[in-house]
Structure 1
Amino acid sequence: MILTVTPNPSLDRTYEVPSLHRGEVVRATGERVDPGGKGVNVSRAVAAAGRRTVAVLPLGGAPGALVAGLLDAQGIEVAPVPVAGATRSNIALAETDGVLTKINAPGPQLTADEQELLLDTVRRLAPGADWIACCGSLPRGLAPSWYAELVARVHDAGARIALDTSGPALPAALRERPDVVKPNAEELAEAVGRPLATVGDALKAAEELRAAGARAVLASLGADGQLLVDDDGAWFGTAPADAVRSNVGAGDSSLAGFLVAGGRGPGALASAVAHGAAAVQLPGSVMPGPADLKHSAVTVTTEVPVNRPLREPAS
């Protein structure tokens, strides 16, 4: 079982539009409503892979009830933490050329009691989990140190934890030695405080996160591929994506692919790459199932192309 924790879940509405022009009426050609948040997306991808998952998330108001109902309809067990504030609603506009515009609401402010109940719920469920994936931004009311406290409690319960967050929460959590951290290129650049122009720059940044406490780093580099750096070395994985429709949840799908494949080594990296490449070719935040994956198209090597420029340099 893979347990996910989403401190700031959402109800996500995705509209597919031909193009976006400010100040004009834009007619959507497609529409989806999905439960959202990075940890929620990981659960959805794990469920699509046919594995059991439990989603821990604070829920409030009518949007929270709808999120729970949508997850239940997808066969995902929900461990709700009731909160007084309403769960946030987000909007994504996906253009046909692959450009995505997102409007993310701030979400409710959690009280001290609600924060503690969220931590205690994870601690209570942790012993039954193969992996715990804690993902996304922190809602109002939670200090950057909250993820560090969560990592410590998970380890005290004897479980493994993968962390996907950014900003001050990431360096704060590293001191508790999360088993895996999963930044993208921009988050890597932010964490080390300098731009990344090449794959080699990303590799060096990943190594610095390991030196700061991360036991392994799974770094998504967008169209350039993914890096895995751990005690056994470094691997670089790539796969073609014929037509990019939406990158919403692609990184979350990658993390799910990594964890369902064991969460360690080149085989897990190959699974992460296959899941990420499949996700970007699906509409909105649809998570890929086994039929969408093209494992034969994935290449994983220990020969990291350190001099290769990133197509989207991170600053």
Structure 2
Amino acid sequence: MILTVTLNPSLDRAVAIESLVRGEVLRVAPAHLDPGGKGVNVSRALLANGVPSRAVIPCGGPEGEQLVRLLAAEGVPMIAVPIAGRTRSNITLAEPDGTITKINEPGPALSGAELKAVVEVVLSAAGSADWAVVCGSIPPSLPVEEFSELCSRLIDAGVPLAVDTSGPALVAAAAAGASLIKPNREELAQATGRAVNSTEDVVSAAQQLRALGAKAVLASLGAEGAVLVDADGVVTGIAPVAEPRSNVGAGDALLAGFLAGGTAGAEALAEGLAWAAAAVSLPGSRMPRPGDLRRDHVHIHHRPDLVRQLLTRD
């Protein structure tokens, strides 16, 4: 069983628009409303593919109640820790050419007592877990030192830990000795303070995080695939998508597939890429099911071209 922890979950509403024009009234197609948050998405993806998972979420207000109902409707086993604040709502605007605009709320603050309750629940549930996965942004009030302590306590309990977050929290997870961290290109650059413009830059940044203590780094690069850097070396891969519909949750699907595919090596990377590509082909933040996966579209490179330049971002 894989335990996921989402300290800042959300309701995710995705709408399709013809084009984003400031100051205009936009007509949209019916919206997709999904339970959101990186760890929540990892659990949803795992469960959709027959891999046992359980989600821990702090939630509050009417939005929190709706989040619990949506997860229950999908059959997601969960532990909902009540908080006084209101669970956040996020909006994704999707244009026909694949352009995605995200509007994300910061989320509620957690009191000291609420954070303690969440940590106690996580440590208790982790005893029966094969992996603990801590994902997403941390609440505005949470000091990075306390996030680091949560990571350390899970590792000390003997639970392999995967972390997908950003900024100082990502660095703290690496320094705590997480078994796996999953940054994207921007998060790699932010965490290491270096430009990431080529595959070689990705590998160098990943090695910098491994030097801090992370055992493995799975770097997601969007349409340009992913790079796995661990003690065995470097493996890259890509899974082209002919008709992308939404990249929301694609990184979460990548991590879920990687864990389901064996948690290490080229086979796990290939499975993760198949799940991520399937997620990109689906609307909103829907997670792929077995029938959505196209493993034959995945290309793995054991001897990657390190000088390959990454596409320039806008």
Q: Same fold (TM over 0.5)?
A: yes
RMSD value, Cα: 1.2
Q: Look up the equivalent residue of 2:107 and give its one-letter code.
A: G
Q: Does structure 2 conserve the Cα–Cα contact (< 8 Å) formed by 1:16 and 1:29?
A: yes
Q: Which residue of 2 aligns with 1:64?
A: 64
Q: Does structure 1 conserve the Cα–Cα contact (< 8 Å) formed by 2:194 and 2:205?
A: no
Give the secondary-structure state (helix, strand or coil) at the position aligned to 1:150: helix
- 2:222 aligned with 1:222, yes or no? yes
**Alpha-carbon displacement from aligned partner over 1:54-97 (angstroms, at most 9, x marks no partner):** 11010101111111111111111111111011111111111111
Q: Does structure 2 conserve the Cα–Cα contact (< 8 Å) formed by 1:2 and 1:129?
A: yes
Q: Give the deviation of 1:51 after TM superposition.
A: 1.5
Q: Which residue of 2 aligns with 1:270?
A: 270
The separation in 2 between residues aligned to 1:184 and 1:309, in whole angstroms, is: 16
The separation in 2 between residues aligned to 1:207 and 1:70, in whole angstroms, is: 39
**Alpha-carbon displacement from aligned partner over 1:250-308 (angstroms, at most 9, x marks no partner):** 00000000111121111110111111111111111011111111111111121111111
Q: Look up the equivalent residue of 1:248 and give its one-letter code.
A: V
Q: Which residue of 1 aligns with 2:150?
A: 150
Alignment of 1:1-315 (within 5 A): 1-312=1-312
Q: Does structure 2 conserve the Cα–Cα contact (< 8 Å) formed by 1:2 and 1:131?
A: yes
Q: Does structure 2 conserve the Cα–Cα contact (< 8 Å) formed by 1:132 and 1:162?
A: yes
Deviates further, 284-293 or 304-313: 304-313
Percent sequence identity over matched residues? 52
What TM-score do the two structures reach when normalised by structure 1? 0.97
Q: Does structure 2 conserve the Cα–Cα contact (< 8 Å) formed by 1:148 and 1:174?
A: no
The separation in 2 between residues aligned to 1:216 and 1:2, in whole angstroms, is: 18
What TM-score do the two structures reach when normalised by structure 2? 0.97
Q: Does structure 1 conserve the Cα–Cα contact (< 8 Å) formed by 2:155 and 2:177?
A: no
Q: Look up the equivalent residue of 1:137 and give its one-letter code.
A: S
The separation in 2 between residues aligned to 1:209 and 1:97, in whole angstroms, is: 35
Q: Give the deviation of 1:313 after TM superposition.
A: 5.0
Q: Look up the equivalent residue of 2:170 and give its one-letter code.
A: L
Q: Give the deviation of 1:147 after TM superposition.
A: 2.5
Give the secondary-structure state (helix, strand or coil) at the position aligned to 2:311: strand
The separation in 2 between residues aligned to 1:199 and 1:172, in whole angstroms, is: 24
Give the secondary-structure state (helix, strand or coil) at the position aligned to 1:154: helix
Q: Look up the equivalent residue of 1:126 and give its one-letter code.
A: A
Runs of 4+, deviation exceeding 3 Å: none
The separation in 1 between residues aligned to 2:80 and 2:141, in whole angstroms, is: 18
Q: Does structure 2 conserve the Cα–Cα contact (< 8 Å) formed by 1:47 and 1:74?
A: no
Q: Does structure 2 conserve the Cα–Cα contact (< 8 Å) formed by 1:195 and 1:313?
A: no
Q: Look up the equivalent residue of 2:105 and give its one-letter code.
A: A
Q: Give the deviation of 1:127 after TM superposition.
A: 1.5
Q: Look up the equivalent residue of 1:252 and give its one-letter code.
A: D
The separation in 1 between residues aligned to 2:313 and 2:19, in whole angstroms, is: 25
Q: How many residues align?
A: 314
Q: Does structure 1 conserve the Cα–Cα contact (< 8 Å) formed by 2:45 and 2:287?
A: yes
